[in-house]
Amino acid sequence: MSSNKYRILIIEDELNIRSFVKTILETNGYQVLTSGTGKQGEWMVTSHCPDLIILDLGLPDMDGVELIKKIRKFSGVPIIVLSARTDENDKVSALDLGANDYVTKPFGTAELLARVRATLRNSHHSTGNGLYGKFVVKDMEIDYDRRIVLVKHQEIKLTQTEYNIVTLLSEHAGRVLTYAFIIHAIWGTADSGSIKKLQVNMANIRKKLGSKPGDNQYISNELGVGYRMYGNE
Ligand code: CA
């Protein structure tokens, strides 16, 4: 009965957060393992093969970012990072090193569960490059075969670069893509003006998609980190 449950490993030294997360996950049908240190957590990744890891970045014996680096040498297991609001740089390094998503403390039950579901779902259909068919979120539609984007059935005129960015975000919908990830995927190389270039493109995309400032229906701007296209949750 419990054998087909997803197994989630929580690595977090703060007891109250650890129990909080454990309770939420168990209540929602997940099997949960916990560790209060990085060292034991690392060992549990190899010995228990979890389907997902929830990792606190501030551990007593090890930097969480370092732990991601170690885990990524032998495993592609999805990782959701728990970070304090002040850890902007750590959050970015964590994502660039291969963490799949993050949740900022303090977080609510609904938010955590949504991230867990999206991350598990994404890890089960690694897309590759062959995008075909359609992607729909709210009243926006990307037609990969015709390489066009429609909002309320009206075609939106995007430049080639803008289209590529929208497609990249849709391919990873529900997940935050860092500036570095997007820049590398779209332009290949980064220079000092890359972030500015990306921001200008994003501003144009959002304007063309009809977003008003502060009201982004399809793409959220994760300040200081990157962008996320909403998924169909
Ligand atoms: Ca901590």
Q: Is the dihedral of CA 70, 101, 171, 125 positive or negative?
A: positive
- Measured in Å, residue 80 CA sits from the centre of ligand 1 at 14
**153 and 178 belong to one structural domain:** yes
Among 201, 206, 200, 204, CA closest to 220: 206
Of residues 221 and 232, the one with the higher pLDDT is 221
pTM of the predicted structure, to 2 decimals: 0.66
Residues 146 and 49 both lie in one domain: no
Report, as an integer, the average pLDDT of 159-177: 91
Q: Do 72 and 162 fall within a single domain?
A: no
Q: Give yes or no: residues 96 and 202 share one domain.
A: no
Does residue 7 contact residue 33 with C-beta atoms inside 8 Å? yes
Task: Grade residue 27 by pLDDT with cuts at 50, 70 and 90.
Answer: very high
Query: Does one domain contain both 84 and 102?
Result: yes
Q: 85 C-alpha to center of ligand 1: Å?
A: 13
- Residue, of 128 and 90, whose pLDDT is higher: 90
pLDDT digits (tens, 9 = 90+) for 174-204: 889 999 999 988 887 778 889 999 999 999 9
Residue 65's nearest CA partner among 102, 114, 17 is 102
Span from the CA of 142 to the centroid of ligand 1 (angstroms): 41
185: CA distance to ligand 1 center in Å? Answer: 33
Give the domain CATH number at 49.
3.40.50.2300
Tokens (6 digits) for 233: 């949750």
Q: Which of 23-32, 40-49, 126-135, 142-151 has the lowest mean pLDDT?
A: 126-135
Q: State the distance from the centre of ligand 1 to the C-alpha of 72, rounded, in angstroms.
A: 21
Question: Of 125, 144, 177, which residue constitutes the final position of a domain?
Answer: 125
Residues 46 and 120 in one domain: yes
Distance 65 CA to ligand 1 centre (A): 12
* C-alpha distance across the termini of the chain, in Å: 26
Task: Give CB contacts under 8 A, 24+ apart, made by 119-127.
Answer: 119/52, 119/78, 119/80, 119/174, 119/175, 120/6, 120/51, 120/52, 120/78, 121/174, 122/78, 122/172, 122/174, 122/175, 123/51, 123/52, 123/78, 127/171
Residue 90 and residue 54 in one domain: yes
Average pLDDT over residues 204-228: 86
Q: Please tell me the distance between residue 37's alpha carbon and the centre of ligand 1 in angstroms.
A: 9
- Ligand 1 centre from 68 Cα, in Å? 15
Omega cis (within 30) before 106: yes
Tell me what pLDDT residue 128 has.
Answer: 42
* Claim to verify: residue 180 and residue 118 sit in the same structural domain: no
Whether residues 19 and 116 fall in one domain: yes
Cα of 36 vs centre of ligand 1, distance in Å, is 9
For the chain, what is the radius of gyration of the CA atoms? Answer: 19
Q: Which residues contact 161 (CB under 8 A, 6 or more apart)?
A: 186, 201
Instruction: For residue 7, report the distance from its CA to the centre of ligand 1, in Å.
Output: 22
CA of 100 to the centre of ligand 1 (A): 19
Residues 140 and 211 both lie in one domain: yes
Residue 142 pLDDT > 80: yes
Q: Answer whether residue 125 shows pLDDT above 60.
A: no
Q: From 73, 90, 125, give the residue that closes a domain.
A: 125
Domain count across the chain: 2
> Is 50 exceeded by the pLDDT of residue 20?
yes
Q: Is the pLDDT of residue 213 over 70?
A: no
Closest CA to 151 of 195, 208, 111: 208
Q: What is the reported pLDDT for 2?
A: 43
Range of the domain at 175: 134-229
pLDDT in tens, 43-82: 999 889 899 999 999 999 999 999 999 998 888 889 999 9
Among 125, 155, 171, which residue terminates a domain?
125
- For the residues 167-172, what does the mean pLDDT come to? 92
Q: Which of 2, 233, 3, 4 is nearest to 121 (CA)?
A: 233
Q: Hey, what are 209's tokens?
A: 């998609």
Residues 20 and 121 in one domain: yes
Based on the domain organization, do 191 and 223 belong to the same domain? Answer: yes
Name which residue leads in pLDDT, 124 or 194: 194
Residue 207: CATH number of its domain: 1.10.10.10
